[in-house]
Amino acid sequence: MKKILVVEDNELNMKLFYDILTYQKFDVEKALDGLEAYEKIKNNDYDLIILDIQLPKLDGFSLLKKLNDDKIKFPNVIITSACAMDSDKQKAEGFGIKDYLTKPIDINAFIKTVKSYLL
Amino acid sequence: MTDLLHKTLNLIDDIINKSDVKSVDFYSDLLLMMSSLYEKSSLAIFFLENTDYTLKKAIKNSNFTDCSLKEKRIEDFLESDDEITEFTTKPDDFFSKYTLAIKLKIRESVFGFMLLSLNSKPDDSVKASFRAAVNIISYKIKDYELNDVFKLQLKALQDAIIEKENAYEIIKTQHKKLKELDKAKSLFLANISHELRTPLNAIIGFSQALDSEIFGSLNEKQKEYINDIQISGLHLLGMINEILDLSKFEANAMKFSPSEISPHQSINEVIGILEPLYKNKNISVEFISKYDGKILADYQKFQQILYNLLSNAIKFTPENGKIEIYSNKDKKDYILKIKDNGIGIDKKFHNKIFKKFIHLDNIYTKNQSSTGLGLTITKELVKLHKGKITLESEVNKGTTFIMQFKDILV
């Protein structure tokens, strides 16, 4: 079973991602802030990370930078952010992330994107 | 140059360099020294108006006390065009037999006169030297007065500049404040957009999840409601996007990535996207394309222009109506027209229609979700393509939006 880490601070959005990904038969783990995500990525092997950008303690981009700085290996990342500014999309590209989904996301497109990495 | 003239010039030069033109000494020295030039002579200087105390005192200090020269004769001379004149005078304390009068003047303005009274009839060299002396004195005095005036004007000018600088500073501060406020507003709009997206993600996401019936089937009514929630959510999203777009335009942060695109294809795509909407109202949409080449445009933004205008046209056109899209070229310009036979727009609103948050008629928009930003954004998008958008419209006849994109033909 493919393991996905969802990093999302909004409880309802977390529930949404968790429910639909679980329904798709993925093993889903939750991280509610950037630091929790950092610890989990450091200590576990995930197949995919679903990452929000605005997060408590450590925001999404800072998390990615810290992982790179600390040379911690991590899998493909799909960003789901409520920020629709182009500057953030460019930042994501800077980290080699191709999929930047702006909230509200289309569930079907989201599942398709997730599957494109895991199947 | 005669000897007398030469002496006069040297003397005047001397006096002028030595003393201040406004001091008593200047005039007593002047008169005293000048009379030494001419044998048995008397000299006097008069100022007509606005002579200050110093100058009057200078006259008083001269030997001139009583005047046998009648005032009238002097007045006549001053009113004449002559620069210099000769009077025969009855000798007394001041006057000798012959008196020369000469005007103190600068350009055409006479501000005084000088008298030189002599025992012998003045010859040409006397006249010339006297004239030269008076000319120099005139200039010196006037120069001084002008200096005074100039100083006053300079002061006034300085005051005005200081005042202007103060005003400029105030405007600069206000401008800075406004810019900051504007920036804060744009940031606020961007934040609002962000804050609204987060709950909207849950609203649309959960209703989509329910709609897909992965967690169990829905009955008809439940399906209908879920559909309603989704449509409302998408409307809300449309508005959020418009607010974000506007804030981008206002912050000059709207990205523009032009490439060679086929407007023909782009327009057909938009017509395809909106097909369910116009089919629903049984509106016919006809596309008459007279230019099939390419243009330099931002694909997404060009489509957005058309999408906004065409969806507006559909919105304001009654059932069974007709919408026509014309495209053509004009030299290197691309022309696009969208014509409907809908409700039309009153002439008095034609100027307002592109302004922010304008809703023209609530009767027609009450069932439509709208921010009143659509046309404002459309205009900005057209501007981004170096284009201009205008409209022709008549109430109950329809509206035509005309766009001319400057020099974008490939």
Q: Which is more confidently placed, B311 or B11?
A: B311
Structural domain total, chain A: 1
Within 8 A of A103 by CB-CB distance, chain B residues are 197-198, 200-201
Which chain A residue has the Cα nearest residue B254? A86
Assign B60 a pLDDT band (cuts: 50, 70, 90). very low
pLDDT-based confidence at B260, cuts 50/70/90?
A: very high
Q: Tell me the residue length of chain A.
A: 119
The DSSP code for B348 is G
CATH match for B259-405 among 3.30.565.10, 1.10.1370.30, 3.30.1330.10, 3.90.550.10: 3.30.565.10
The mean pLDDT of B312-322, rounded to a whole number, is: 91
Tell me if chain A has a CB within 8 Å of the CB of B23.
no
For the ranges A96-105, B28-37, B370-379, the lowest mean pLDDT is seen at B28-37
B397: which strand partners?
none
Question: How many Å apart are CA A29 and CA A7, to the nearest integer?
Answer: 9
Q: Letter for the amino acid at B376?
A: T
Give the span between the Cα atoms of A80 and A50, in whole angstroms.
7
Question: Can you tell me the ipTM of this complex?
Answer: 0.85
pLDDT of the residue at B20: 67
> Residue B239 and residue A98: Cα distance in Å, rounded?
27
The answer, yes or no, to whether residue B337 has pLDDT greater than 90, is: yes
pLDDT at B52 over 60: no
Average pLDDT score over chain B: 81
pLDDT at residue number B140: 74
| Long-range contacts formed by B13-18: CB under 8 A, 24+ apart | B13/B136, B16/B136, B16/B140
Q: In a 3-state reduction of DSSP, which class is residue B46? A: strand
Nearest Cα neighbor of B161 from B169, B177, B340 is B169
CATH architecture of B3-154: 2-Layer Sandwich (3.30)
B199 contact A CB<8A: yes
Q: E-assigned strands of B15-97?
A: 42-47, 84-88
| A25 at interface of B, judged by CB pairs closer than 8 A | no
How far is Cα B353 from Cα B372, in angstroms, rounded to an integer? 9
Residue A10 in contact with partner chain B when CB distance is under 8 A: yes
Q: Inform me whether the pLDDT recorded for A36 exceeds 70.
A: yes
Residue B324: helix, strand or coil by DSSP?
strand
Query: Which pLDDT belongs to residue B370?
Result: 62
Cβ–Cβ contact A27 with B under 8 A = no
Distance from CA of B229 to the nearest CA of A (A): 14
Residue A85's pLDDT band, with cuts at 50, 70 and 90, is: confident
Q: How far apart are CA B97 and CA B77, in angstroms?
A: 18
Choose the mutation target among A16, A26, A105 for the interface with B, i.e. most B CBs under 10 Å: A16
- State the Cα–Cα distance between residues B396 and B400, nearest whole angstrom: 12
Contact A3, A26 (CB under 8 A): yes
Please, what's the largest Cα pairwise distance for chain B? 137
- What confidence category does residue A11 fall into, taking pLDDT thresholds of 50, 70 and 90? very high
The pLDDT tens digits of the residues spanning B130-188 come to 888 888 777 777 776 666 666 777 777 778 778 888 888 888 888 888 888 877 877 78
- The half-sphere exposure of A55 on its side-chain side, counting CA atoms within 13 A, is 29
Tell if the CB–CB gap between B201 and A83 is shorter than 8 Å. Answer: no
Domain extent, residue A113, equals 3-118
Tell me the C-alpha distance between B283 and B144, whole Å. Answer: 87
Span of B38-47, B49-58, B349-358 with lowest mean pLDDT: B49-58
pLDDT-derived band at A47 (thresholds 50, 70, 90) equals very high
Question: Percentage of residues in chain A with pLDDT exceeding 90?
Answer: 87
Cβ–Cβ of A82/B214 closer than 8 Å? no
Residues β-bridged to residue B328: B335
> How do the domains of chain B map onto residue ranges?
3-154, 175-250, 259-405
Which residues have CB under 8 Å from B177's CB, separation 6+? none
